[in-house]
Amino acid sequence: MLARAGCGFGLLALADLLKANDARPTLAPRPDAKARSVIFLFMGGGPSQVDTFDPKPLLTRLHGGTVPASIAASIPRIARSPLNDLFGSPYRFNRHGQSGIEVSEIFPHIARHVDDLCILRSCRHDSPIHAPAEYLATTGTQIGDRPSIGAWVHYGLGSVNQNLPGFIVMKAGETGRPVAWASGFLPARHQGTIVESTGIPHASLPTGVRVDEREAQLDLLDQLNRRHLERHAGNGELEARIRSYELAFRMQTVGPEAFDLARETHETKNLYGIGNADTNEFGTMCLLARRFVERGVRFIQLRSGGWDAHGNLIANHTPQALKTDKPIAGLLADLKRRGLLDQTLIVWGGEFGRTPAAENREVNPGRNHSPSGYSMWLSGGGVKGGQVIGATDPIGYAAIERPIHPNDLHATILHALGVNQHRLVYRHNNRNELATVNGGEVIGEVFA
Domain 35-210+263-446: which topology? Alkaline Phosphatase, subunit A (3.40.720)
- With a cut of 60, say whether residue 22 has pLDDT above it: no
CA 376 to chain CA centroid, nearest Å: 12
Residue 309 to residue 64: CA distance in whole angstroms: 18
pLDDT at 13: 42
Task: Using the predicted structure, report yes or no on whether residue 17 has a pLDDT greater than 50.
Answer: no
pLDDT digits (tens, 9 = 90+) for 350-368: 999 999 999 988 879 999 9
pLDDT at 10: 45
* pLDDT at residue number 7: 47
> What does the pLDDT read at residue 233?
66
Stretch 399-412: mean pLDDT, rounded?
Answer: 97
pLDDT of residue 199: 64
Low-confidence winner among 140-149, 163-172, 227-236, 415-424 (lowest mean pLDDT) = 227-236
pTM here is 0.87
Average pLDDT over residues 168-195: 91
Average pLDDT of the residues in 156-162: 88
- Over range 228-235, report the average pLDDT: 67
Q: How many CB atoms neighbour CB 236 within 10 A?
A: 16
pLDDT at 251: 64
Q: What is the per-residue pLDDT across 424-435, written as a single tens digit (0 to 9) for each? A: 999 999 999 999
Q: Note the pLDDT tens digit of each residue in 311-345.
A: 999 999 999 999 999 999 999 999 999 999 999 99
- CA–CA gap between residue 150 and residue 300 (Å, rounded): 8
